[in-house]
Structure 1
Amino acid sequence: MIFQLYTFLYYLVNGFFLPKEFFKRPSQLRKKWLKDKLALFTKTDFISQRKVVWIHAVSVGEVIAISSLIKSLAKEYDILLSTITDTGNQVASQRFKDLPVKIIYLPLDCPFAIKRTLRTFNPSALLIAETEIWPNLILISSKKIPVFLINARISDKSFRRYKKIKFFLKPILSSFSLIAVQDEKYKNRFKDLGAPEDKIVVTGNTKFDIEIPYISFLWENLVPRPIIVAGSTHFPEEKLITETFLKIPIPSSLFIVPRHPERYKEVERIINSMIDEKNEIGFYKLSELPLDMRSYFKIIILVDRMGILGSLYRIADIAIIGGSFIPHGGQNPLEAIYWKKPVIFGPSMENFPFIEEFLERGACLQTEKEELKDLLEDLLKNPDKRIELGEKAYQILKQKTGATEKILNLLKSYLK
C-alpha cells in the first residue's frame, strides 16, 4: 500500500514538474529527454548480440567515478547507461563514444516506464551508483534481474533524513542482491536503515580508480606560467577567485571552469566587468583562444568546453576546487591529485569526507576565502612546496585504489 501511495504522489508531482523540466532544457535536447523519460524506446534503439548490463549514474561525478568499471564491463557486455542530468549525459557520451554504451536519461520512476525499459533492453543486471534510491526502479527490476548498489555511501544529512522513513526504505534495501559500500561507516548506516548485513560488502571507493586521458593542448606552452586551474566553480566563486587572482603581483594565468555549461555567458560577463580598462590583463574564452596571444602580465581563460577538466589539470601548477567556498559540499579533488597537483579548497567539502585524511597528512590545503590570496601567493612563489604537496596527495590516492576490481569480482557470479 505504501508504494502505491508513493507512485500516486510521484505521478501528481511529475504532472507539475515535467513541463517545467522539459522547457528548462536546451531545445536540441528536449525531444530525446522526453522520449527517454517516458520510456518511448523501440527495439531498434538498441540491438545487442551480447548480454546487457544497465548502469545508472545520476550526474558527472558518478559517471567519472565508475568510468573504469564501465570500461571493464564493456569488454564482455553491452552497456545501457542512464543519467539524470544533461551534463552527465554529455560527459558520458564523450567518455564512452568508442565503446558499446547506449546512453539514455533515466525514465520516470513509474511502473509503466520501468517495465517498458526492461522489456526493450532486456538487461541481465542493474547497477546503481552511490545512493540513488528510486523505489519502483529497484523493486520492479529486482523481481526480474539482480540489482546492485555500488560505490554506495550515505551522507550525514541523508542519513538523518532516511532514518525518519526507515519503514519505507527497508523493503527497498532488502531488494538489492548486493550493496557494495565505500567504507565501514557506510556499511553500518545501511545496516541501521534495514539492509541485510549479509548483503553489504566494503569494497572501497571507485573514485580513486580514475583514469584520465592525456590531452596535448596546442596552446599549453603559450600561456604565462604558473597556471592556476579553478575547476567546477559555482556562483559566486568565479568573482571571488578572479578578485583574488588579480590582487597577486605575480605573472600567471587563471583558467576558470564553471561546473554548469549554461553559466558560461554569465561568467564571461562577470569577468569582463572585473577587468574593464585593465590593459595588462588578457581575457579569452577557450573556444576562441588565439595561437598568437598578446603578451600580458596576467591571462584569464574561461573554459567553455565540457569534458576536459580532468585532462586540463595536467597543465596546472595549482588547482582550486569549486563548490567549496559556498555551502555546496565541494567537487571532486581527485582529478587534480591524479596529476600530482597541489590542491586548495574552501571550508565546504562535505561531499568528499575522504578528504579529511588528505588534510591530516598535510597533502591538501583548506582555507577560508579571506586567506586564499596569501595561500596562493605563497604557493606561486614556492615551486618545491607545490611539488611536495602534489606528491603526498598522489601517494595517498594510489594507496586507495582497487575498489573497481573488487566490485567486478563480486559481480562475476551474478553475471555468468
Structure 2
Amino acid sequence: MTQPEPTPNSFPNQPPAQANSWRQKPDSRGHFGQFGGRYVAETLMPLILDLEKHYRSAQADPAFQAQFDDLLEHYVGRPSPLYYAERLTEELRKDAPAGKGAQVWFKRDELNHTGAHKINNCIGQILLAMRMGKTRIIAETGAGQHGVATATVCARFGLPCFIYMGAKDISRQQPNVFRMRLLGAEVIPVTSGAGTLKDAMNEGLRDWVANVHDTFYIIGTAAGPHPYPELVRDFQSVIGKEARAQMQSRVGRLPDMLVAAIGGGSNAIGLFHPFLDDASVEMLGIEAAGHGLDKEHAASLAGGKPGILHGNKTYLLQDEDGQIDEAHSISAGLDYPGIGPEHSWLKESGRVRYDSVTDTEALSAFQLLCRTEGIIPALEPSHAIAAVAREAVKMDRDQIILANLCGRGDKDIFTVAEALGTEI
C-alpha cells in the first residue's frame, strides 16, 4: 500500500484538513495570522531551521510515526480513558434549572505515565532530538510535570537532562522536584524575576544559545519560536483524536462543548485541534484569573495585548511601557504571562471562546471532584472543572461537556493544604 502524503498540519494519521479549515499550518514564517513567528537570536536561527527540516522529514517517515505510536501505547499507556462523571453530573444538576445540567465527561490524561499530558510531547521531541544527533537535553518547567516528563524520557533514552525551574516553583512543587532528581535530571533553580515559569524559560533560552551545537530544548507548551507551537500541538493532538473516536464509539456522536485549562495552552490545543472543523462543537479555554482580573492574575487573553516573548508574538501581560508583567496563579503550571500563538489566533478569529477562573473557584472545583468522583485533580484542570460547573447548569440534560483532565493532583497537595489552612 502506498503511504499517504502527510497533511500539512499533523502526522499521516490525521484526517486531511478541509478547504478553509480551522486546522491551520502556520505560514512560511511560522505565523497564525499576526501571531507566532520566530524572534530568536541569530545564533539560534540555523538550529531552528534545522529543527523544522527534521520535523518535516519525521512527519513523512512512517518509521517515526510507528515508534511514536508504539511508545505512546506501551510506555505512556495510551489511549487514556474517556470517563462519564456520573456523580459530578448529578451534583451539578441539583443547582440547575429544570431540564438543565449537561452530562460531564473527562478525557483522563492524568492517568498517563508521569501523571499528565506532558509526556505525549516529550516522547515526540526526544525522538526528534535523537534524529538530529543531539546529545544533551534542556527544558523549563513550572508545575514540574513537564520537567518530570522530560526527565523521564531522558532516563528512558540515556541522555543527560537539565531542567530550569523557578525558585518559587521549586518551593511549592517539592514532590516533582524530587521525582526529577530521582530520574537523574539536574534541577537548576532560577532566582531572577518572580522565580516562576517565565524566568525558567528565559534561562533555558540562554543555555540553548550558549550550547547550540549539542543541545536540544524540549519546550513544554505550544509556544516559543516556530516550529515549536506547531509540533507541540501535533504531538498533543493525540488527546483530541482519541477523544473524538471514543465519543463516537461510546455515545455515537461528538460532544457539544470541549473545555480545557490554559497556561501556555498545549493540553487545550491538543484536545481542540482535531475538532476545530466540527461546527457543532463549542470550545472553551480557561485561563487563570488568580486573585481577580483587576488584581494579580495570569489571564493574558483577558488582560493582555499582543507582544513578543520567548521567540513568538502572542497575547502577553504587559505594563503601559510594554514591559512583561508578572503573572499569578495558585497553579504553578498556569503561572505564565503569555499564551501559545495559535490560541491568540483562535481568539481573534472567534472559533474558540476564552474565559477565566480564580484561585478560589479552582480550589472549590478541586474539592468538588475529589468528593464526587474519587479523583484528585491537579490545580490546572481544576480551573477547567470550575468552568464546567458554570457551563453545565446552562445546558440541556442531553448535552455533553468533555473536559480534559490533564494532570493529577498529588503534586499539589501541599499547595492546596496551605490554601485550606491544613497542616500536613
TM-score norm. by structure 1 comes to 0.29
TM-score norm. by structure 2 comes to 0.28
Q: Which has the higher helix share?
A: 1
Q: Which structure ranks higher in relative contact order (CA pairs < 8 Å, sequence separation ≥ 6)?
A: 2
